[in-house]
Chain A
Amino acid sequence: MAEEAQAPQAKLTENAFEGLPKDEAQSAENIAGPSLSYMQNVWIRFKQKTSGVVSGIIVILMIVIAFGSTPFINKSTLVKSQPQYANLPAKIPGVNLNGLNGKIKQNGEWVDVYEKNNIPKDKYFIAGTDYLGRSLAQRIVYGTKISLIVALVAAFFDLTIGVIYGVISGWKGGAVDNVMQRIIEIVSSVPNLVIVILLLVVLKPGLKSIIIAIAISSWMTMARQVRAETLSLKNQEYVLAARSLGESSWKIAMKHLIPNLSSIIIIQTMYTIPSAIFFEAFLSFIGIGISAPETSLGVLLNEGQKNFQFLPYQMWYPAVVLCVLMIAFNLLGDGLRDAFDPKSAR
């Protein structure tokens, strides 16, 4: 009260104010920038982070190359061996750099293996060959495709089983939630990988078995996170409003929950992918993964590490591709996380 009294009394006449033209009045209320949807915001934030964008481009490129190669590299090209070209190092036309010109270091000296084995002059293998004389570059591309298929399948199961399980558990709540949470608790304290390895021994090793194994073991984290988020969303006012207006649960889930869950889902998916790729590589490494004639990055790595001392390129090339793939997915995941949740980007 006292303060009010201290304020100077302004004496205003009636014409001290001037009416604004109608249209201008409206525009002052307007927000200066264009109105942006949530996704547009995410996109803008995502674009700001170079590492995320570059990773995204790399991932897309790898997907395009791996899957685009299908008409050229298939099972029958993989089966074909040319033992006369076995274990040749990389030789790229026009490049004269030791290691990429058909030479390999043997006992401290660079030796031209192509010349030594009387390989025709116009024969090039840009990433060298394996022990049966098959082009390593082709095998890496094919291996990448298999690794990506494994990854995408894992992502698919994450999205279906994981998301649905999480949403139902969180939305229904009560007894249903309780039971579903107990199940998850038990399933996730089983060392899944161990069970999966056993499963692979019982089933015929191969892509199908690995996919089943991944389906079983990959969805829990997603389900947990989605459930937690659903629990908090469920009590948000707009959801309450929709419920009290009598919207069906299905519609609420599709219209309100899923869009709001999208950030968590996308981020989690991005983290599932590298671990699925790693998982496949691991299985192939211990010898129960993809079986010949098909190949994967894991199979190539396993083959390569055996010969590392003499033919280091046989491990380096697939290892680099695998690492780039993993790093790209990880960074893409980080980029997306920061874009969806600006608080995390500091």
Chain B
Amino acid sequence: MEPTNDQDPNYYHKVVDCQWACPAHTNVPGYIRMIAQGRFDDAYMLNRESNVFPGILGRTCDRPCEPACRRDRVDGQPVAICRLKRVASDLKGDISERLPVIPTEKNGKRIACIGSGPSALTVANDLLPLGYEVVMFEQFAKPGGLMRTNIPEFRLPDHVLEDETQVILDMGVEVRYNTPITSLRSLLGEGFDAIFVGVGAPRGKELDIPGRHDEADSHIFIGIDWLESVAFGHVTSIGSRVLIIGVGNTAMDCCRSSRRLGGTDIKVMARRPREYFKASPWELEDAEEEGVEIIVNHAPKRFVIEDGKLVGMEFEVLEWDPGARQSTVLNSVIIPCDDVILAIGQENAFPWIERDLGMEFGDWDMPVVDEATMQSTLSGVFFGGDAAWGPKNIIWAVAHGHQAAISIHNLCSDVDLNERPPQGMNLVSQKMGMSEWSYHNDYNPSPRQKMSHVELTKRFESLDLEVELGFSLEQTVHEVQRCLNCDVETAFNAPACIECDACIDICPVQCLTITSNGDEADLRARLSAPATNLDQDLYVSAPLPQTGRVMVKDENVCVHCGLCAERCPTAAWDMDLFDLQIPYAASANFIRIGAMSPSGANRGN
């Protein structure tokens, strides 16, 4: 193999599994160390830089970081990253002085944001400090988009949502509430320099089976619409027996909300076996803890209406082949119910975009959006969040917002949209002395801490009682120490190595080998411990001075304990803090004049 280019920010970025997996590339180990040091404000601000809504995401994020976490491969339980994010948010003090300063003199550019959800708020957050004027069009009377309408208050309290949206609105957004956009043409006529579409995926999927549109349809609801009505207080009760069709996260919010609005016998009906559920495992757990029954292998067949009244639903009971591709119908059953909520997915709908404006639409009547620039084929009109490519999640919406803001800034500065500011990195030695590091390098065997919940007896008293209590300080102290500091990198300097084997002997996970070079498959088989996780890179050094062999490191389960560097007599190994420099619209100007490391020509992945 060729020697690894560790000057490419992507190499070490990939070692920080959580940061690599996060769409917004939040510096997770960095903020966890700050929490460990009691620096909650700093931890919050570091989060805010990339993910903008630490308090909201600390409760609602889909957590792509956690399945990626190295700790999961070490002891089977990832660090509770999301919960720690919430700790930073819960314990922070007043951070208002640390927010970006908004220039009183504007740059003369006006941007329209359609929607006030996470992607549009991120665009505003990134552009306002540069002197842009942002006008936000919101169909409802309150901001937040699906964060407000689709996530129940018992998961995301109003004050948290309020805090983090208001911080951005207070930067000087002009919000026009109760103003749904009904025509893109007329908006284009208003002379904005750019338009950002962040309207989400607002249309819940229908289930067109017999009985759906009969006289009883007032007891059949579309999940996201129903949640929205609950959020705005238009719906305050539901029948005692409720069936939820579908088993995604919306279904979980629907069943748990039903439980709080009068439902006592709630069944979530799934077509496929449990391992194919779309809902996050922790949301399934929470629902089941609240007495919701989840029934697998039942496909809806018809609504049963008697005397103009919904009395139940008929399902086909399925048996699936291994892999759950083919099913056979065993029989059918009727399950009685008072209400049915359909939560089988949602899709985009753009009835307000005239099709003669020159905007290209592709598959499923979706606008064609450039994956790097977020621009549609109509110059100056950008998409982000669920509006861009269908339902994803909040953290993706934030990531889209950052990229769209860079594009809008490029557009307004007459820079080619494809000229993306590069990522950079800083690598700084953490050595404080002999066998002394600026980070806590010992492996802590603590198990993952469990979130405590409000007692079941009290939980259903009101819709807005937050169920998760957050980590206690004691839990926090244990959980932060579980982080393996994957951003403190084992940096190797081949010319200094005398091949004494000290690092290889001391490594607690046998991830180091000095051997003759070979191709990757060959090397992977010849290491101290075979490198079988192909998702994890091998580090390969330049030829070593004494024998011409190479140092190979399998990054897979390195616990970043620094013992290799402590036992190295020549300091060929060092522990270097990797700090990914992520470009944002506000940093784009100075990046372009060459302040970045020349190596980082790659955009985030």
A and B found bound together: no
